[in-house]
Amino acid sequence: MPTFSPKSRDIVRAWYVIDADGLVLGRMCTEVARMLRGKHKVIFAPHIDTGDHVVIVNAGKVVMTAGKAEKKRAWKHSGYPGGISSRSYAELLTSKPEEVVRDAIRGMLPKGPLGRQMLSKLKVYAGPSHPHAAQCPEMLDLSATARTAS
């Protein structure tokens, strides 16, 4: 029996909406990365983008456990000597929550053109509304797997 390799006609992409209100950042992002890669499908192949579209709303209400929001720092460098700067995740979650979620998911996807293609199917919004109602996205509940244990 030959190895099955999915063709473009075999791939059916669904749309999902995830409400990030109260979800733990890392646990939510692992599930989203799994959906973007298509690992939840039986036709998954590591060299082909078989994933679905994911819309994340309320990204500003995501939480980090064990005080990581204050302890962890996000570093960036301007490219010039002495151009390194850092901000805590608490500051980033108040100013740019979409970027925090997007960067966490980007680190869990493959590097290169395939990962960039998968990341293009991710839409992140800080508030509760999104402009993708025409795609009839299905609400996906991650509360059982990605909530805090408190």
Amino acid (1-letter code) at residue 8: S
Instruction: Kindly report the average pLDDT of the chain as a whole number.
Output: 94
CATH label of the domain that carries residue 43: 3.90.1180.10
pLDDT band at 144 (very low <50, low <70, confident <90, very high): confident
The answer to the question of residue 45 being in a domain is: yes
Answer yes or no: is 26 within a domain. yes
**What's the domain range around 48?**
15-64+97-144
pTM of the model: 0.91
| Residue 135: inside a domain | yes
Percent of the chain with pLDDT over 90: 91
Q: Can you tell me whether residue 124 is helix, strand or coil? A: strand
Q: What is the pLDDT of residues 14-24, one digit of tens each?
A: 999 999 999 99
Average pLDDT over residues 110-125: 97
Mean pLDDT of all residues in 37-43 = 95
Give mean pLDDT, residues 108-115: 97
Q: What's the structural domain count of the chain?
A: 1
- DSSP structure string for 82-134: T-EEEEEHHHHHHH-HHHHHHHHHHTTSPSSHHHHHHHTTEEE-SSS--S-GG
